[in-house]
Every structure is written in structure tokens, then in C-alpha cells.
Structure 1
Amino acid sequence: MVALHSVVAEVEGAIASGDPAKRVSMLRRMTSLFTTQAPRLNEDQVGAFDQVILRLSRDIETRARADLAANLADVANAPRHVVRDLAYDASAEVAGPVLERSLRLDESDLIQIASGAGQQHLMALSRRSALAERVTDVIVSRGDEKVVRSVAGNRGAQFSLSGFQILTTRAERDVELEHTLAERVDVPAAQRSQLIAMARERARRTLATEFGASAAERATLAIAESLAAPPVDLTPIEVAVARQAKVELDETNVQEWLSMGQTNYALVALARFAGVPSVIALNAHMAPTTDPLLFLVRSARFGWKTLKLFLASRSDGEPNADDMQSAFQSFQELSVATAQRVVRFTAAREKLEQSTAA
């Protein structure tokens, strides 16, 4: 603190001079002095710096205030009044660093700023390491698309029931937000059900565009049937397939397993290539229709021969000529991109339903 007392006269002189350059220079000097000593200062000593830096930092150029904010944002015991003054600055360049990172702002300040600030300020707030429900209630109500996506993806943000409902409602028009919410583990059961319904309807519309309404309905219902619990423990097979993958795992391995009657190995491998849990592939294989297998095989970019082998390995045996021809036609008409979208939807839905059950 001796160093601070020794420059008081210089501080007063810089302010009295009316010279912006001298004032900014002195501000930088005092900021450097504070950050160097900060770990050793008590609150009274921080308060002394608070008064000096606050006087120097007012009515100066934006760039200098932005530099000050950047220097203080991560200081655990930064001067409270200075941080608060910076947080309320109309310039997001100045306010942003402290709004995003400073721990010296009270919840009441965060709420007040969120209630009246622009989108850049809200974006900074959305990235804070921790956000209480009262703050996120304001952010999800006032934030634009980017801000809402950001706060929804923030694992340190807590949301009230009404906040989650606002997010879910907004997700109806924002597929990226829908996917972000699907990754959260704290979404209430009612909102989870809404997200599942959204994902199903979005997939149905996508399929309807490519195949017509009836085909879309059939495919989404068939995929949904693949979410039942597995009848066998697939863990040993998953371990064996993972071991094979360390050496080499490709479509040829899948075909060989099918040819040797090791269907579950082929199904676990198929799930691995499609990026879904093994249970989805196993239940798709047992589904009443061939659609689930079709989507999984196509999403894995496997060929017709592989699908034909999977169909022949089903409990009801190889399809007759007409059914096989129909399957071949569906295989040719289904694009890889569409198959992958449906499979992603299926995996996301299973994750949501498992979370709800838990």
C-alpha cells in the first residue's frame, strides 16, 4: 500500500490536468500496480484502489476502458465499484469481459443488466461459469437465437420450470436449440416429452418431403419400435467388436459374421458404424418391418449385399422375391443423408427417453 500512497499526488495531477493521455497512462499504471499486489490485499486495501481507479476510468476513451475490463475480469478480488461501473457500460467491448467472467457482480446487477442490455451484453452474460434461475429467466426471454443457444448450452446455467418451457417453445422453431437441449440432463420430464415429439415430427416432415406422408409415417413408427429394451446382454459382443476395430473393422467383417451366423456380432458392428447404441440395431433386426434395418444399413453407407444378408438372417427367414424386390427399391430410393438424419433422431430420442425414465 505504500506504493499507492506515493502516487496519490500524481493521480490527482493527472485528473486535474484534463489531458486524456496522462489520465489513461496513470490508469494503466494503477491497474498494473493493483493486479500485481491483488493476491496480498485485504478488502479495505482493495477499496482504496477502487476509489482511485474508478476516478481515473470515468470519462475516458472506450478502448482504455475495454483494456481495464479485460485486465480485471479474472481477478478474484477486483475492485467492486470499478467492475460494476464497467459492467453497466453501454459498450459491449467494455462490459463484455466482466459480464462474462468477473465474480464481483451481484445477482441483482446481473438481472438488471440482462433486463435492459443489448444482445452483445446478453451473449456475454450467457457464457458466465454459473447463472442462477432468476438471471436465465431474463436471458431466455430477451435473448435472440444465438444468445438462447449459448445459454442453453452452458452447463453452469440453471433454469426454472418457466425458463425450460420458454426454451422448449423456442426450440420448436430452432433445430440447433432442440439438439442443445437434448444434451442437457436437467430438462424436466414434461419438456423432455415435448422435445421427443418435436424430433419425431421433424423427422416425419423430412421423410415426407422425400417419400410422401405414408412412407414417412411408416418409417418413423418402425424406428420408434427399435427403442425397446434388449433381450440379451450385448456387452461381451461389444467388447469383442471393439477389439476387432482396433485391428480392422469394415463392411467385409459384417458380411462375414452374417455368413457365419454370428448375427449379433454383425448387428453390434452395424450400430458402431451407424453411431447408435447396440440395442437399436438388435431391436431393428427383430422389428415387424424391414424399415429399421434399411435406415441403419443405409446410414452406415453399407451396400445392398449387406442389407440382403441382414434380411436373410431375420427369424422369419429370407423375404420372398416380391418383398426382396420392394426392399431393393427402397434401398435405392433412400439417400444416405436422409437415413443418417433419421438415425440421429432415433439415437437422440432414446437418450431423452432414458433420461426421463431415470
Structure 2
Amino acid sequence: MSESIQTELVNFSMLEEAATQEQREELTRNVVNLYSLTSATCSKEQIDIYDAVLMRLADLVSDDGRSHMAETLAKLRRAPESVVLKLANDIIDVARPLLETSTILRDADLIEIAKKQSQDHMHAIAGRDVLSEMVTDVLVENGDKPVKHRLAANHGAAFSDQSVNKLLHAAEDDQELQLSLGLRGDLHDDYIVRLIAIASEQVRQRLVEQGEGGAASRIPQAARLAAQRMSNEYWLARYDFETAQEAVLGRFGRNGLSEQLLRRFAEEDRFPEAVVTFACLAGIGLSEAMHWMVRVDTQPFVVMARACGLTPMTVQALLKIGPWRHRLSADMRMETFNRYQSLNRDKARRMVAMWRDQRMAS
């Protein structure tokens, strides 16, 4: 990133020495608004430039200025990572929109924020459309009553057995939490029995009423959530594959890609970068790799992973990131891995060759 390009966008020397606070605020709004209008077509280098500029501007403006930044960036699928992470760690009035909606924040980011920031930050995270068990484990362990209430009422949140047990324990003297847990559709029978045993008579009656008359009013929301979880496009829209492709190929080149790099991206929860690397190593298009690594039917991925000679460690890491973290149960993940291990590599190569012949023939 050249200094000349940066200074063409913002003259920081003048801004720090001569500009009034009002001018700084106005310039910051203009820059972030400009980025929001052009983000879809920005190159990786341009995004990096905006990232550096917005990082410096964030230190020069008021809470209101940073709030505008956060609200604008939270709506974007392609947003500069560094400034998003900076603002997500800001005071809650700034951080909230990013914590609630930004797809730029990875699970590792959310976990770190939940551990070191306030209960308000955890409450914002608890309202995200999609939450993995890794994140909810931290929120249940460290969150106060409002955090637990919002989590229990969030049907996009997945819970480990450990977290469900903790929520049930917390619900023993908490009717609101009892009701929220009772209205979830993902509790196992054993947990439902335990919930009924601790629920107050008032909560039991409300659950019965919801089951009889109130269920119809929840059908649209339930149907929407179910449709989202079943839709490949919903999950793919959460990630910026274009920037990832430019970044990976620009930094490593096709000759610099390796299985070791692929596994590193998986371990760092960098799903778009992992998809790009997998596509290059497998010799398939990015669009094809994107769809293979989001769908619940994992057979195409299994065959290609075996044909490419990916090691078990890499395959296991890939099955735990991105959409598969949410869409595959532990049993589905194990079944997929067992199919990979039992598949002969020569047979996998023949299957890949047959797919390519069919594609050329069509």
C-alpha cells in the first residue's frame, strides 16, 4: 500500500493539525459512505487502503462518528477486517451493530470479545442470526441473566449439551428462561423432561397455550429460519470469496498453495480462504468449490478430497469450519469422515475423471 494513494484519499497531516472536530466527523462520514457505495467492486488493495484510512479516522472522531462507521460497515458483506474488529471492541453503543450482524467477525473474534468485553457486548452477540456451539459455550459460561435470556430465545443459536445443562440449571428459578427454553424446537426429550420438572405451573400453562393456539403465529418465523438453514445461497452470501481469492493468489500465487496452507486457513477459521485454496489444489472452479463446501450432501467434497490426497487431519479441520460448523451434526461429520477414509484414492480419481468427461461432453 503506497503512502501516495493513502494521502490522495485523506490528508492526515492537515486533518490532525488544522481541521476542526466537525470537519473530521464530516470527512469520516464521507469516507465510510463512499466505501459503502463502492465496496462491491473494490479490489483487495483498495479495501486495504480504506481499512488503513478508517483505522486512523476512528482515532480522530467522536463516539457518534465511530457509531456511524460501525452502523454502515455492519451492513456490508465486504468490509475492512481491521477496522471492523477495532469497532467491535469499542464501547457498546459503537460495537452493537457489528456484534449483532457483521459477517466479517469470525467465531474466534466473537469469543475473544465475549471474554474481555462487557455483558452488553455479550448480549449483542447473543442476538446474531447464527451462533455456533463454540460461541454459545462462552456466552452461557460468562453471560448474565439477560444474555442467557436472549440466547435461549435465539433459534439460530446452537448449544452443546454442556450449555443446555447450564441453562437448565439457571432456569430453576427463572420463569422467563424456562419459557424460552420450552419454546425451542431443538431440545432433546431428556432435556424437555427436565424442563417440565423444574418449570412453574404458570410456565407449564403458557407452554400448553403456545402449543395449542400460539404455534400458528410462530410458523412464519420458524419457516424462515428453517429455509435459511436449508439454503446454500444463504450461507454463501455470508462470505466474501472474491476478496479472499484476490488475497490468497496475490500473496501466495498458485504455485505457493499447499495442503499445509489449506489446513492453516481451516484452523484459523478462514473459510473463504480455505475454499479458494481447496479449489486451486483440486483444479476446480471457485464457484464449484463454494457450493461443494456449503451443501449438506458432502459426497463431492469427499471424493475430491480423497482424489487430491488430503490427509485426515486436513479433512477433519475443513468439516468443522464455515457453514458445515452449523449445518453438519457431530454424527453427520463423523459419517462424512468415515466415507472419506473408506474411499480408495484410485477409485476417487476415476470418479473425478468421469465427472470431468461428462462435463466436457455436455
Contact kept, 8 Å, 1:182 with 1:348, in 2: the verdict is: no
Q: Distance in 2 between matches of 1:340 and 1:56?
A: 53
Give the match for residue 70 of structure 1: 71
Cα 1:31–1:189, aligned 2, differ >3 Å: closer, same or farther?
Answer: same
Deviation for aligned residue 1:12: 4.3
Give the match for residue 231 of structure 2: none
User: In terms of Rg, which structure is larger?
Assistant: 1
TM-score (normalizing by structure 1): 0.54
Cα 1:340–1:80, aligned 2, differ >3 Å: closer, same or farther?
Answer: closer
Give the match for residue 48 of structure 1: 49
Unpaired runs of at least 5, structure 2: 213-362
- AA matched with 1:88: N
Contact kept, 8 Å, 1:11 with 1:26, in 2: the verdict is: no
Q: Secondary structure at the match of 2:76?
A: coil
Cα 1:158–1:343, aligned 2, differ >3 Å: closer, same or farther?
Answer: closer
Cα 1:349–1:194, aligned 2, differ >3 Å: closer, same or farther?
Answer: farther
C-alpha RMSD over aligned residues: 2.7
- AA matched with 2:78: N
Unpaired runs of at least 5, structure 1: 200-337, 351-358
Give the match for residue 177 of structure 2: 177
Contact kept, 8 Å, 1:74 with 1:102, in 2: the verdict is: yes
Contact kept, 8 Å, 2:70 with 2:87, in 1: the verdict is: yes
Cα 1:64–1:46, aligned 2, differ >3 Å: closer, same or farther?
Answer: same
Deviation for aligned residue 1:188: 2.7
Contact kept, 8 Å, 1:152 with 1:181, in 2: the verdict is: yes
Q: Secondary structure at the match of 2:130?
A: coil
Q: Distance in 1 between matches of 2:138 and 2:19?
A: 41
Deviation for aligned residue 1:344: 3.8
- AA matched with 2:98: V
Give the match for residue 84 of structure 1: 85
Deviation for aligned residue 1:102: 0.6
Give the match for residue 235 of structure 2: none
Deviation for aligned residue 1:340: 8.1
Give the match for residue 126 of structure 2: 126
Q: Secondary structure at the match of 1:172?
A: helix
Q: Distance in 2 between matches of 1:84 and 1:342?
A: 43
Is 2:196 aligned against 1:196? yes
Cα 1:34–1:341, aligned 2, differ >3 Å: closer, same or farther?
Answer: closer
Contact kept, 8 Å, 2:74 with 2:98, in 1: the verdict is: yes
Is 2:97 aligned against 1:97? yes
Contact kept, 8 Å, 1:50 with 1:80, in 2: the verdict is: yes
Q: Distance in 2 between matches of 1:32 and 1:347?
A: 48
Deviation for aligned residue 1:172: 0.7
Q: Compare 154-163 and 38-47 and name the one that shifted more.
A: 38-47
Is 2:40 aligned against 1:39? yes
Give the match for residue 28 of structure 1: 29
Deviation for aligned residue 1:142: 1.8
Contact kept, 8 Å, 2:183 with 2:207, in 1: the verdict is: no
TM-score (normalizing by structure 2): 0.53
- AA matched with 2:52: Q
- Percentage of matched positions with identical amino acids: 32
- AA matched with 2:44: E
Deviation for aligned residue 1:47: 1.4
Cα 1:169–1:341, aligned 2, differ >3 Å: closer, same or farther?
Answer: closer
Contact kept, 8 Å, 1:196 with 1:349, in 2: the verdict is: no
